[in-house]
Structure 1
Amino acid sequence: MLLLFETAAGFALFKVLKEKKLEEAEDLASDFATLEAAQKVVKLKAFSKFENTTEALAAATALVDSKLSKGLKKFLKKHVDEDEKLALLDKKLGSIVQEKLGLNVLWSNQVLELSRGIRSQLTGLISGLAGADLRPMSLGLSHSLSRYKLKFSPDKVDTMIVQAIGLLDDLDKELNTYAMRVREWYGWHFPEMTKIVTDNIQYAKCVVFMGTREKSAGLDFSAILEEEVEGALKAAAQVSMGTDISESDLDNIKDLAHQVIALSEYRGQLFEYLKNRMAAVAPNLTILVGELVGARLIAHAGSLVNLAKQPASTVQILGAEKALFRALKTKHETPKYGLIYHASLIGQSQPKYKGKISRVLAAKCALAIRVDALGDTSDATVGIEARQKVEARLRQLEGKLLGTEAGNSKGKEQPAKYDKARQGATPALATAPKAYNADADAPAEKKEKKDKKKKAEEPAEEAEEEAPKAKKAKKDKKEKAEKAEAAPEENGKADKKEKKKKKKGGDE
């Protein structure tokens, strides 16, 4: 019977000399107490050494996953006959070897005890393998294997993001301090320039390029300023109320201006680096809230994994802890947002909708962070779909979109169901909105007062309605009386006319 034993240096195949010893597993420890006793139980038949660390890592990962590697397959085919029994430590690997190679495989607790004994005398049983060689091999392979199991990648290190965003915030503070110092210092010589050139970096470049204000008339500022600003600067330089400064003063001001320009250039490079890191580490979060807000969330939580452990409600108010605890202590309203307030999606929403959008965005961010921290994929499909849903919700709140269109972001666009109420020039809502019922929210006492008031008002309203009816009836009676009085007179006139006609007829 043969026994396969895996080491950090390679595969070893031992021939078991005393197979009956496997049945007596309790006595195996005494048989491997010394190298001479161990050589009587097992004997090395073949040894396949790994050529490099890559091959050793591939073989070790295959064994951990219970897979048959190419190197092990060749080794077994070469040294194991079909008639011989092969003892293995892994039951799953044994079943694969039995299926693919057709060998008679054995695995049991006795095999484990035998391999434990071989491990204690390994350097003596394998000739040419010293302990000094095996120790660094085992250490290197264990590190490589642990990195593989943890799926460690240098591109996924979020520590760089924490340091970069911290440095970026510090640079912004220093830049503002230095730029204000340049303005104050050079303002003694040319105070009007402060209002004309508002940008700090352009101001520093103008100071370096111009020097004293008298030289501005013959210089071309087109590379730094616009034409209108340049004209205003030159006009102000001719009538400036500033004091004159010496060359040594101007040199020191220029040195500080050089520092401002250099810091601004480095800040631009650092921001590009931060964008690349965020795109590699947290692509879904970056699409939802942007690079700066996403990096600040990660830095505030300590790491991406710590941020992934937080619920959506915590992500929403992350950065507003003082306001939260102050509100809880004073029993006031808790804050609606923290660092997430600076995201573009919340910035473009109306003030009355910022709280709702921040809650929706925080829920989507919580999912995106977990995908970035614990997912295997590096694409940003989850973030893109989540952003579309948040934008749809924002449009729905602002009345630009119907509610049914808010969730159709996945896959192809689907036509909306036919609804008669929606047809026409201006689509209407499928169901008419319910009007606000103020009586439903009023207390019982107020309702009773309202009912009494209504009952008192009803007779007055009825009297008001009956008044015009009575007036109309009186008018109709008057008209009928007048007609009745006029009727006899008209009848008398008609009789006289008839009598006259009869008399004329008789005379003729």
Structure 2
Amino acid sequence: MLVLFETAAGYALFKVLKEGKLKEPDELWKEFETPEAAQKTVKLLDFQKFENMSEAVSSVSTLIEGKLSKDLKKFLQKSFDGVELVREQLAVMDVKIGSIINKKFGINVVSDKTVMELFRGIKQQLDTLITGIKSEDINQMALGLSHSLSRHKLKFSPDKVDNMIIQAIGLLDDLDKELNTYAMRVKEWYGWHFPEMSKIVVDNLAYSKVIKTMGFRSNAQTTDLSEILPEDIEKELKEAAEISMGSEIAKEDIDNIIIGCEQVINLTEYRSDLYEYLKNRMLAIAPNLTTIVGELVGARLIAHSGSLLNLAKHPASTVQILGAEKALFRALKTKNNTPKYGLIYHASLVGQAAPKNKGKVARLVATKSSLATRFDALSEEKDVQAELGHTTRKQIEKRIRFLEGRNGDAGAKTEKDKGKKQKKGDLKLIPAIPSYNPSSDVAGPSKSTEYGIAGSSKSAEVSTAGTKRKVAEESEVESSEEESSEEASEKDDSTSSDEESDDDKSKDKKNKKKKDKTKKAKKQKLEAEQEPSKVTKTKEVKDKKDKKKDKKEKKKEKVSESTETITPKAEESKASKKRKKTEEVEGEVVSKSEKKAKKAKKSKEPSEEKIEQTESKKEKIVKKKLDKGKKREKEEDLTETEKVEKTEKSKAKKKDKKDKKDKKDKKKTAK
């Protein structure tokens, strides 16, 4: 059995001398306890050393990827020249490499528990088995190879260190916060001395520079501020300094304010330098991302995701929402609409878009920026000019123009949009144009028989209305034609010369005759159409008249019969009515006289009746009071035992009443 062993120094091929001991893998470690015992079990056949570090890194990296390097193939071909491959076996650590060697050379490959124990033993006694190499040298080689391999694996380059960007953007945000606090404090502090200045000079840097150069507001007229401010603002500031309402301050106060202004100036200068550094770093690390999104937004995306590689791993949907995680999870909890954008909202392309199209543009920018980050992070070729970024930015701008209808082709709409608009238009109700129905003009006999007289009358009315309308329209047309012909003839007469021929006159006469004939034919047709409607009308009128006559005759007969029977009774009723009236008149006269007499009596004796009523009321009140006093005396005379008996009796009566009611209710329910 042969053993392929990889070291940091090179490749080694060993031969197992005691193959019988491989059957017991648990006791194999005893054979490698001493270097002498190891030399007896394993023998070195061939060794190939790595010439330099780059060769070692390339060969080891190919082995890690599960491939055979060129150096290893050459080494195996040399060592297998004098060996019968059919009989021999090769012990390999990695199964993938073993399968490739088996396909390439046709040798049986082994990789199991015994092979693992064998490799441990060889590694333990490697100094004695491979002559000419010290253990210290092998350790140093292994350390150097591990470092170089890690760099190669991570594709290390100083230009692609995104940690610097993360730190720079963090510091830039902190500087902005500090600058705002310093500037606000300086404005508030100096505002006690010169409050009008904060409205005139808005910029924080210019404000602090003016304070540093001017000091007290009284020095405004003498100091030259042309380097800091434009002429208009300088003039306004000097005028305001003369009429200022601020309070006077000491020199110590102004000195401390100036120190605060110096801090603001220094911080702004440092911020501008840091921004330039970040801009250059972003162009070096992610040039395509910076062209699409911008330096600040790109740096914030990298800082939020952790690194450029992590950002490249994110899909476009997460890149779109990066920075709005709280809003996303809140929306998912409350089952509301999820946010459309996060940090990408601050990109210039998204800011250009209208509020309606911002969601679409944010999605588009996220997709293109994710592609750009993958290209920047994973491509081996450096795209310094950022060609991909520029092309994608142009595409996005074109799309924004198309959405907002700014470009020249926006007026010419696509076929899809036209189809959509037509579909939407189809849904709207178009009012139908009223058309003439000739069937309504004819009142046929079949309809009148089906629907009876009423149906025939309705159809006749419709037909007459239609014919009238038709006649009116035709008459208007004819009149218009006649007017036009008359106007034409008048014009011809006026323009024609005195030497008109007889032939022209004869032609005019013929034309008039033709017109008269056509008019007569039309009138005859209309009369023929109107005839059936007229017949039906006459019939209906006759029927109505006959019915009215019959009703009147019946009423007359009833009235005559009633007069004959009721004449004697009517005379008696009239006499009785006259008597009743006379009696009623007499009764009214008597009642009036009686009422007058009663009123006179009441007016004479009203005081006597009132006196009697008051006396009777007083007697009743006195009786009630006496009764109450007697009852109280009786109650006081009663002993305590008698009181208890009374209460018990009242309780017993109440119980009896309740029992009687319950019995009655039970009887009712039983029934």
| Fold similarity call, TM over 0.5 | yes
Paired AA for residue 402 in structure 2: Q
Offset at 1:184? 1.2
Distance 1:248 1:300 in 2: 45
Alignment check: 8 A CA contact 2:12 2:47 kept: yes
Distance 2:469 2:204 in 1: 76
Out of 388, 394, 410, the position equivalent to 1:388 is 394
Counterpart in 2 of 1:265? 269
Structure 1 pair 109–176 and aligned structure 2 pair: CA distance change class (3 A):
same
Offset at 1:92? 7.3
Offset at 1:248? 1.0
Counterpart in 1 of 2:7? 7
Structure 1 unaligned spans of 5+: 405-425, 484-508
Offset at 1:37? 1.8
For the pair shown, which has the larger CA radius of gyration, 1 or 2?
2
**What does residue range 54-69 of structure 1 map to in structure 2 within 5 Å?**
57=57, 60-61=60-61, 66-68=68-70
Distance 1:35 1:224 in 2: 85
Counterpart in 2 of 1:311? 315
Counterpart in 2 of 1:471? 476
Counterpart in 2 of 1:397? 403
SS of equivalent residue, structure 1 residue 202: helix
Offset at 1:112? 6.1
Offset at 1:182? 0.9
Larger helix share, 1 or 2? 2
Structure 1 pair 241–337 and aligned structure 2 pair: CA distance change class (3 A):
same
Distance 1:161 1:274 in 2: 6
Offset at 1:429? 6.3
SS of equivalent residue, structure 2 residue 195: coil
Structure 2 unaligned spans of 5+: 438-465, 489-671
Offset at 1:302? 3.6
Offset at 1:175? 0.9
1:163 aligns to 2:164 (yes or no):
no
SS of equivalent residue, structure 1 residue 223: coil
Distance 2:49 2:23 in 1: 32
Alignment check: 8 A CA contact 1:14 1:42 kept: no
Offset at 1:178? 1.0
Alignment check: 8 A CA contact 1:12 1:47 kept: yes
Counterpart in 2 of 1:294? 298
Offset at 1:265? 1.6
Structure 1 pair 478–62 and aligned structure 2 pair: CA distance change class (3 A):
closer
Alignment check: 8 A CA contact 1:94 1:107 kept: no
Counterpart in 2 of 1:251? 255
Distance 2:484 2:221 in 1: 100
Distance 2:191 2:310 in 1: 48
1:182 aligns to 2:186 (yes or no):
yes
Paired AA for residue 36 in structure 1: E
Offset at 1:353? 2.5
Out of 144, 148, 171, the position equivalent to 1:144 is 148
Counterpart in 2 of 1:496? none
Residue identity (%):
51
1:234 aligns to 2:238 (yes or no):
yes
Offset at 1:107? 7.7
Q: Which has the higher contact order (CA 8 A, sep 6+)?
A: 1
Offset at 1:211? 1.7
Counterpart in 2 of 1:109? 110
Alignment check: 8 A CA contact 1:175 1:260 kept: yes
Out of 433, 451, 454, the position equivalent to 2:418 is 433
Structure 1 pair 67–182 and aligned structure 2 pair: CA distance change class (3 A):
same
Listed one character per residue, the Cα deviations across residues 440-469 of structure 1 (whole Å, up to 9, x for unaligned) are 556xxxx6xx77xx47x6679x99999776
Paired AA for residue 189 in structure 1: H
Counterpart in 1 of 2:580? none
Distance 1:180 1:57 in 2: 58
Distance 2:476 2:135 in 1: 125
Alignment check: 8 A CA contact 1:88 1:94 kept: no
Listed one character per residue, the Cα deviations across residues 20-46 of structure 1 (whole Å, up to 9, x for unaligned) are x56985479364443112223445688
Structure 1 pair 93–475 and aligned structure 2 pair: CA distance change class (3 A):
closer
Higher deviation after alignment, 326-335 or 293-302: 326-335
SS of equivalent residue, structure 1 residue 217: coil
Counterpart in 2 of 1:408? none
Alignment check: 8 A CA contact 1:95 1:105 kept: no
Alignment check: 8 A CA contact 2:99 2:109 kept: no
Paired AA for residue 35 in structure 1: P
Listed one character per residue, the Cα deviations across residues 305-326 of structure 1 (whole Å, up to 9, x for unaligned) are 4433433233223333444455
Offset at 1:357? 1.7
Distance 2:273 2:99 in 1: 56
Listed one character per residue, the Cα deviations across residues 416-450 of structure 1 (whole Å, up to 9, x for unaligned) are xxxxxxxxxx97867893445556556xxxx6xx7
Distance 1:231 1:69 in 2: 82
Alignment check: 8 A CA contact 2:68 2:100 kept: no
Alignment check: 8 A CA contact 2:294 2:347 kept: yes
Alignment check: 8 A CA contact 2:212 2:258 kept: yes
Out of 339, 345, 359, the position equivalent to 1:355 is 359
Alignment check: 8 A CA contact 1:316 1:336 kept: yes
Structure 1 pair 309–475 and aligned structure 2 pair: CA distance change class (3 A):
same
Alignment check: 8 A CA contact 2:320 2:362 kept: yes
Distance 1:377 1:38 in 2: 50
Paired AA for residue 185 in structure 2: R
